[in-house]
Amino acid sequence: MSEALLRADKASIVFGGLKAVSDFNLYINRGELVGLIGPNGAGKTTAFNLITGVYQPTSGDIMFDGRSIAGKKPYEITQAGIARTFQNIRLFSELSVLDNVKIAYHSHVKYGLMETFARVGRYFKEEKEIEDEAMRLLKIFKLEDKADEQAKNLPYGAQRRLEIARALAAKPKLLLLDEPAAGMNPQETKELMEMISWIRKEFGLTVLLIEHDMSLVMGICERIYVLEYGIIIAKGTPAEIQQDPEVIRAYLGGEA
């Protein structure tokens, strides 16, 4: 069996004596689409922040593509091949839709400062490539007509799509989506889920998806982890998860 793309090994984080996430074990194989679900406040976003380097694990390790990424800075982890979206949308809101995507190509740009100042060498060629690729991504996400609009003026659903487009521009191997369907209506959600399945195949991506609403992820995820109070209480295929008494208790008993 090949090595998993991402493997969290007993990753834990403590905030002021409180264990926000403890003994977080998770693996994702290349090409998989995995869901991470759990009730509100279960620590899902904290787990994401651990993987992406926003928080440093207090103990345990996280391996990505055969190397440890625990303790690395967020930008180093993105450069290593993990891109993410945010639960509370974090676009570059004053900038154009196109610029939002162009910024994410940053770590793939080869021209140096001197070529920038004097505008010689690779500058024009690479800038053109970036613009073309960014427009191609916008087309996929049906945003090409809005390329020159300010990101903050987009409707909510379009902002969520733009965040995914922007994350893809960083050319990740692993894409982390933090509640991508939050605030969307059922029709939009359905379209989004289809789009996620499609881009996964098109870009050869591995995807880890956080969702608060369990029913959403059942349709597209191959495996699911369930988090409650910072601890993984269940894992398995959607069918197994639906039958799991712990999960039913967490969702029904926990919130009732």
Partner 1 sequence: MDFTHQFVQQLINGVSLGSIYALIALGYTMIYGIIKLINFAHGDIYMVGAYIGFFAVTRAEMSIVPALLVSMVVTGLLGMLVERLAYKPLRHAPRISILITAIGVSFFLEYASMYFVTPTPRTFPNVIDNIAYNIGPFVVNGQQMMIMGITLILMVILTYIVQKTKLGKAMRAASFDVETAQLMGINADRVISYTFCIGSALAAAAGVLVGVYYNSIDPLMGIMPGLKAFVAAVLGGIGILPGAVTGGIILGVIEAMVSGFLSSTFRDAAAFGILILVLLFKPSGLLGKNRREKV
Partner 2 sequence: MNLLRKNDLIMLAFGIVLFAVLQGLISTKIIGSFWELNLIIIGINVIMSVSLNLINGYTGQFSLGHAGFMAVGAYVGVVLTTFFKLPFIVALAAGALAAGFLGFLIGLPTLRLRGDYLAIATLGLGEIIRIVIMNIDYVGGAAGFQGITHYTNFAWVFIIMLITLFVIKNFINSSHGRACIAIRENEIAAEAMGINTTKYKVMAFTMGAAFAGIAGGLFAHNFYIISPSSFTFLSSFNYLIMVVMGGMGSITGSIAGAFVVTFISAALANWPEFRMIIYALVLILLMFYRPQGLFGYMEITNMGIFRRILKRGRE
Report the interface residues with partner 1, using CB under 8 A: 45, 49, 54, 86
The residue behind tokens 């290349």 is 30
Q: What is the DSSP letter of 249?
A: I
Percentages helix, strand, coil for the chain (3-state, rounded to 5) are 45, 25, 35
The answer to whether 39 touches 249, Cβ cutoff 8 Å, is no
Segment contacting partner 2 (CB under 8 A): 10-18, 116-124, 194-202, 229-237? 116-124
Q: Do residues 218 and 226 touch, judged by C-beta distance below 8 A?
A: no
Query: Look-up: residue for tokens 């209480």?
Result: 233
Of these partners, partner 1, partner 2, none, which one is at the site of residue 49 (CB under 5 to 8 Å by kind)? partner 1
Residue 45, binding choice from partner 2, partner 1, none, Cβ under 5 to 8 Å by partner class: partner 1
95 binds partner 2 (CB under 8 A): yes
49/159 with CB nearer partner 1: 49
Tell me if 64 contacts partner 2 by CB under 8 A: no
* 125 vs 249, beta carbon nearer partner 2: 125
- Amino acid identity for residue 229 in this structure: Y
Q: Shortest CA distance to 143 belongs to which of 186, 100, 87?
A: 100
Within 13 Å, how many C-alpha atoms sit on residue 223's CB side?
15
| Contact call for residue 203 and partner 2 (CB under 8 A) | no
DSSP β-bridge partners for residue 227: 232
Q: Give the residue, chosen from 9, 23, 39, 74, that forms a contact with partner 2 under the rule CB under 8 A.
A: 74
Q: Which is nearer to partner 2, 199 or 220 (CB)?
A: 199
Largest CA distance in the chain: 65
Residue 214 interacts with, from partner 1, partner 2, none (CB under 5-8 Å by kind): none
Q: Which element (helix H / strand E) includes 242?
A: helix 238-243
Q: In 3D, which of 136, 73, 134, 148 has the Cα closest to residue 105? A: 134
Six-digit token string for 16: 């002021």
Q: Rule CB under 8 A: choose which of 2, 16, 40, 94 binds partner 2.
A: 94
Q: Would you count residue 182 as binding partner 2 (CB under 8 A)?
A: no
Using CB under 8 A as the binding rule, whether residue 105 contacts partner 2 is answered as: yes
Query: What φ, ψ does residue 7 adopt, rounded to 5°?
Result: -140, 120
Contact residue for partner 2 among 78, 159, 189, 206 (CB under 8 A): 78
Residue 252 contacts which entry, partner 2, partner 1, none (Cβ below 5-8 A, type-dependent): none
87 binds partner 2 (CB under 8 A): no
Binding site for partner 2 (CB under 8 A): 52, 54, 73-75, 78-79, 83-84, 86, 90-95, 99, 102-107, 109, 111, 113, 116-119, 123-124, 126-127, 130, 147-148, 166, 170
